[in-house]
Structure 1
């Protein structure tokens, strides 16, 4: 049972939805220098790995709950989308302070020159 099938969306829509969620999640940790902190968080591999690990747990929870409704002919993709949103919104309550702190102090250096 694939998530994109239950939600009745294209893989590109799923990827966009996941990235948008990741970006919003990262913005929750930006305080002083918003743009620099956001860039540092978005580009940080350990932060991304942690986010995806926790998000996959929430998606697994969604799939377990979705199994209960599979045989119900009245369940629509919209119902599954609502259940998915209810499960995955919990990502905004999950973070590791040390990872976030370390990522925020990382400085991104632009290696290009403007002409």
Structure 2
């Protein structure tokens, strides 16, 4: 059987970093081969790094959907009881201070941004 869509519910819970990296590399490879991966997770670090689209659901109700900008909506994340990703929180804090910064969600993106 070769499914086109793979649904994973909290697959990273309880994984050590080594197994997590191997698992995520496999999921990325499957996605690049044309498979759709639906990852259900409260781990915003993993979602931020690997998801091309993000959907926020609370109690079966769609609260927000989109690309990386979903992470810049702390009101939505808070209402859904989701802890914002650390870099997204930092970007939001910088924006509150009046500076325009892009959506930075990985260490690599932060390194490229600060040069």
TM range (shorter): under 0.3
State the structure with more CA Rg.
Answer: 1
Higher strand share goes to which structure? 2
Q: Structure 2-normalised TM-score?
A: 0.23
User: What's the TM-score, normalizing by structure 1?
Assistant: 0.23
Q: With CA pairs under 8 Å and 6+ residues apart, which has the higher RCO, 1 or 2?
A: 1
